[in-house]
Amino acid sequence: MNRDTTKLQLVINGNLATGYLDNKPFEKDRARGNFQGSVSTNTIQADWQRSGEGTTQIYPLDLTMNGDTISWYEGERVEKAGKWVLKEPRSGYRYVLVKTTCP
């Protein structure tokens, strides 16, 4: 419907990945914040400092890079050891973003 907006800024330096994720679904609460993690082949495991609905929480992200795309799963989360992890890590909604050039 072209109403949702998701932006991901990513910088990779060696095996360190840093960036910013801003997810604004249409008529829902926005979630945004910085993330930092490690790169291994085509995968980034990062902790996202997700701010939304008046709170900040740590959301682990497992990002998969494939050519000019990056993807990750999102779904129901449960709290474990102070982080909000996916209840079922390989199911749910799969975000797929296409690489664009920074202005």
pLDDT value of residue 29: 76
What pLDDT, on a 0 to 100 scale, did the predictor assign at position 90?
83
What pTM did the predictor assign? 0.85
- How crowded is residue 24: how many other Cβ atoms within 10 Å of its Cβ? 15
| pLDDT at residue 1 tops 60 | no
pLDDT tens digits, one per residue of 2-60: 788 899 999 999 999 999 999 887 777 789 999 999 999 999 999 999 998 788 999 99
